[in-house]
Amino acid sequence: MSREIDEIFRRAKEGRPLFVNRDALSPDFVPPRLPFRDPQTRAVAQTLAPILRGAKPSNLLLYGKTGTGKTAVTNYVLERLKTEANNPSLVLAYVNTRLADGEYRTLADFARFLDLSKGKQIPLTGLAIGEVVDRIFENIRTNKKKVVLVLDEIDYLVKLFGDDILYAFTRSGNKLAPGFLAIVGISNDLKFKEGLDPRVLSSMSEEELVFPPYTVDELREILKERAGAAFRPSVASAAAINLCAAMAGSEHGDARRAIDLLRIAGEVAEREGLGEIDEACIKQASAKMEVDRVDEAIRSLPVQTKAILYAVSRFDGGTNTGELYLAYSTLCKRLGIETLTQRRLSGILGDLDLLGLVEASVVSKGRRGRTKKIQLLISKDTLTKTLSEDVAFEAAT
Ligand SMILES: Nc1ncnc2c1ncn2[C@@H]1O[C@H](COP(=O)(O)OP(=O)(O)OP(=O)(O)O)[C@@H](O)[C@H]1O
Ligand SMILES: [Mg+2]
């Protein structure tokens, strides 16, 4: 027995952790260099550089799908600019409008970079938006501040709250002199421009820059560098890195997804006491990410949309609009929630289709017209499990 225990302990001692620096694969890590983004890095730097001699940079819009390096490149350039711009009247502000979640908080976050919120000049709530904007402008003008404001995930702000703030910012020219305010907007929604007032659009997009999706080859190089910093040597083999790049890249070209996949695969390997990441670890990590993605998508849906999704899941081989509407109406009664019209239901089905949770395709029934063929694209078990956590669904699940 004692020999057996010795053996267990010996193996435990030998099983060293696979990670040397887990942070190198964390979402917020800014790597020391950003391969394949030299043109974009150079262009952002060139656009913002005039601020170093006190001149107003052009406004700039950065576009590109998720995980294409927009935030990373911008932060990289901002960090470098900060070390050059050691002058208190030069202000480099960064606000993520999705995290700020609201016009007021976006402005309040911005104001912190202007040292305005000290002395309670911008309380956390209570002022009218126009008043907050006025105070910000006043601060910039009287202190002759030269300001670059980065608004990351700007599409979120515009979609939910409109473009009033952007209108005020882009029309502020003379009100701020001798100070100024230049805006860098970042969006992963290419349609976001359609929601803007044409005057806002023309001044926001004095310069535009597109971030293309990464190719599988590029993702492989990016992963190789990040893996080198994160793992002990020989933990992430070339084959493992290739597979992660191929699985994350073939569809999306998304570096965040590739990096997440490698990190989670590493955690799986570590838990299983393996010395390196093998194919099974990566497959397992990918399945876990898919479950998490679906889980997250379902969780954030409004209750009506959840109800429709749940009704769809009651039909194993798919269904049509009429049948679904009946099931949905019955469910609403059981849950004690309002029943939307069939027309609204069709609209929401379209949203669920875009999210990849449901397939709602129009099929022709010959002379009898057309109907929608509706099918659940995710696992029924995952859906039921996630919905059962919502108190509104207790009566259903
Ligand atoms: N060229 C690169 N080299 C190394 N790492 C990169 C590169 N591009 C992106 N990354 C990493 O990939 C992840 C996602 O990048 P980033 O956050 O910049 O994407 P994004 O374009 O801002 O996406 P979103 O639109 O979803 O905000 C980050 O961890 C970032 O460090
Ligand atoms: Mg980003």
Pick among 1.20.1050.10, 1.10.10.10, 1.10.1040.10, 3.20.20.70: CATH of 301-393: 1.10.10.10
Instruction: Using a pLDDT cut of 90, give the percent of the chain over it.
Output: 64
Q: What pLDDT shows up at residue 261?
A: 96
Q: What is the helix (H) or strand (E) element at residue 92, kind and residue range?
A: strand 90-96
Tell me the per-residue pLDDT of 30-87, one tens digit each, with 9 for 90 and over. Answer: 888 999 999 999 999 999 999 999 999 999 999 999 999 999 999 999 999 999 988 8
Kindly state the average pLDDT of the residues 241-246: 96
State how far the Cα of 251 lies from the Cα of 190, in Å rounded to an integer: 18
d(CA 133, CA 139): 10
Give whichever of 9-23, 326-340, 351-365 has the largest mean pLDDT.
326-340
Residue 200 has what pLDDT? 93
CATH class of 38-211: alpha beta
Q: What value does the mean pLDDT take over residues 268-295? A: 92
CATH topology of domain 214-297: Helicase, Ruva Protein; domain 3 (1.10.8)
| Ligand 2 centroid, distance to 156 Cα (angstroms) | 12
Per-residue pLDDT at 190 exceeds 90: no
DSSP bridge partners of 376? 358
* pLDDT class of 360 with cuts at 50, 70, 90: confident
Q: Which residue among 62, 65, 68 has the greatest number of ligand 1 atoms within 8 angstroms of its CB, and so is best to mutate?
A: 68
What does the buried/exposed string (b/e) look like for 320-350 if buried means 16 or more CB atoms within 10 Å of the residue's CB? ebeebbebbbebbeebeeebbeeeebbebbe
Residue boundaries of the structural domains of the chain = 38-211, 214-297, 301-393
Q: Whose CA is nearest to atom 29 of ligand 1?
A: 27
Rounded distance from Cα 114 to ligand 1 centre (Å): 27
Instruction: Give the confidence band of 117 by pLDDT, cuts at 50, 70, 90.
Output: low
Matching CATH topology for 214-297 and 301-393? Answer: no
- Report the distance separating Cα 155 and Cα 365, nearest Å: 39
Is 285:265 a contact under the CB 8 Å cutoff?
A: yes
- Predicted confidence at residue 40, as pLDDT, reads 97
The predicted pLDDT at position 315 comes to 94
Nearest residue to 68 (alpha-carbon basis) of 258, 288, 293, 289: 258
pLDDT at 14: 64
Please give the distance, rounded to the nearest whole angstrom, from the Cα atom of residue 31 to the centre of ligand 1: 10
pLDDT at 118: 54
| pLDDT (0 to 100) of residue 17 | 83
Task: Please tell me the chain's helix, strand, coil percentages from 3-state DSSP, rounded to the nearest 5.
Answer: 60, 10, 30
Average pLDDT value for residue range 236-262: 93
Q: Which residues line ligand 1 (CB under 6 A)?
A: 27, 29, 31, 34-37, 64, 66-72, 188, 222, 255-256, 259
Residue type, 295: D
- pLDDT number for residue 358: 94
pLDDT at position 122: 66
**pLDDT reading at 129 higher than 70:** yes
Q: What is the pLDDT of residue 15?
A: 61
What is the value of pTM for the model shown?
0.81
- Three-class SS state of 89: coil
Model confidence pLDDT, tens digit, residues 145-170: 999 999 999 998 988 888 999 999 99
Give distance in angstroms: CA of 284 to centre of ligand 2. Answer: 26
Confidence band, pLDDT 50/70/90 cuts, at residue 364? low
pLDDT for the residue 119: 52
Contact 254, 214 (CB under 8 A): yes
Task: Tell me which H or E stretch contains 293.
Answer: helix 279-299
**Ion ligand 2, residues whose Cβ is below 5 A away:** 71
In this prediction, residue 195 has a pLDDT band, given cuts at 50, 70 and 90, of: confident
Percent of the chain with pLDDT over 70: 93
Q: Nearest 5°: CA angle at 218, between 215 and 221?
A: 155
CA distance 240 to 38: 27
